[in-house]
Structure 1
Amino acid sequence: MILTDTHTHLYSEEFQNDRAEMIQRAIDNGVSRFFVPSIDSSYTEKMYALETQFPENIYLMMGLHPCYVKPETYEQEIAHVEQQLASRKFQAVGEIGIDLFWDKTTLPLQQDAFKRQIQLAKHYKLAINIHCRDAFDEVFEVLEDEKSDDLFGIFHCFTGNLDQAERAIGLGMKLGIGGVVTFKNGKIDQFLHEIDLKHIVLETDSPYLAPIPYRGKRNESSYTVLVAEKLAQIYQLPIEEIAQITSKNSKAIFGI
């Protein structure tokens, strides 16, 4: 069984004491493909070090996270993304998007950063990995503006409703499903069975959003298995089939 974690922050400080062991634990549990999103330039070297340590398992994205779009550093950070994308191969541009939970004042900058990075993804024929928090309308507005045959990717940590799910799929996105699907108040488990499994990929967003029974604790990539088990219940399929289909979906997006 090969499981794919399409979104995991393996470089996080929360793993500093047991990072290699945590990654090996995931591999031992069948999670052998890890896609690592970028946050800002301060994490780039840590991402490269991880890739060097686990070259058969780790794949990198490059992008500026919307929470790190700040007036004083914004242009330098976008320039860093441009430089990195021009210098080597990445699997996606991400994570990018709009977050209005923490700071609404930077919305115009976040919108601009989102658009510019989507355009970079199109230029390099790469997927995008979308972060959206309290900003579905704003994210969809940008996606509609940029809609084209070469716009595709993953709506990371999807927590919307059925209509929003179908709209995201219509815009070329797979739905990144993680620990929230196991929450009693997560709601997405109530309609996921109406979404064809070909539109779904698995993720953890570790170290955040750990699934039941670890909710509130540190998340890790080995818990991708728990997400897959929940989807096996929802779709009434063997977990091996969930793993096979969702990994295939991830390969369609990332090209690897």
Structure 2
Amino acid sequence: MRVAVIGASGRMGKFLITAVQAAEGVSLGAAILKPGSSLIGADAGEIAGVGKLGVAAVANLADCVNDFDVLIDFTTPALTLENAAFCAKHQKAIVVGTTGLSDDEKASLNQTAMDSPVVFAPNMSVGVNLTLKLLATAAEILGDDYDVEIVEAHHRHKVDSPSGTALRMGEVVAEALGRDLKECAVYGREGQTGARTQKEIGFETIRAGDVVGEHTVWFATEGERIEITHKASSRMTFAKGAVRAASWLEGKAAGMYDMQDVLDLK
């Protein structure tokens, strides 16, 4: 599989190029930068710090449409939808790690998946996706007797809150408990809020320093508390997961997939 990386000069883009270079069964086919970037034409491997790869960075997808089979996109919701539409039009697969998509934007991405294969997950980490499986199991066993709270921490530059991963954790727990997260979620507490209700799922957010990503889900009742935690110490874990998803997409039919599909956890 020939992989294209968009945002190749950014923090995540460099990790993705490095992960593609290190993985078996995939190769870097294209690297895309912002139009007007001074690095356009530079070797993508040198941009990422892994040495020359013979792939010159370009300004847009149209300039490399014949050079890749799957695009990895960790950009912004609006740009991701544009890129997904481009991939669908040209029969390319896409791996989407972008967070902060609205319900309407997710619906648009699902529409795109009718014409081309899409892997969409708020977190590409193998460990996080295993954690989601553990959370579903814990919620099913513990039931409504345990209060659920989700605490997440990220670096100061993250623009969406709560994180897409925290929201997905909430969705998984809510589904296992037979609840609708939109109806039972509580985002932060301040003032005289009164006692928590039995079925609410609380979210607490921390933004500080250079925290890559930490998520802890509490299941608490009278006498005991269970905590399920995942901590990421490097963005490389997300990059490796995304590259694994890109490789998995080879030969897949059009449709919407997630990392649970990639890891055969369903």
TM-score computed with the length of structure 1 as normaliser: 0.38
Q: Which of these two proteins has the greater Rg computed from alpha carbons?
A: 2
TM-score computed with the length of structure 2 as normaliser: 0.37
- Tell me which protein shows more helix as a share of its residues: 1
- Tell me which protein shows more strand as a share of its residues: 2
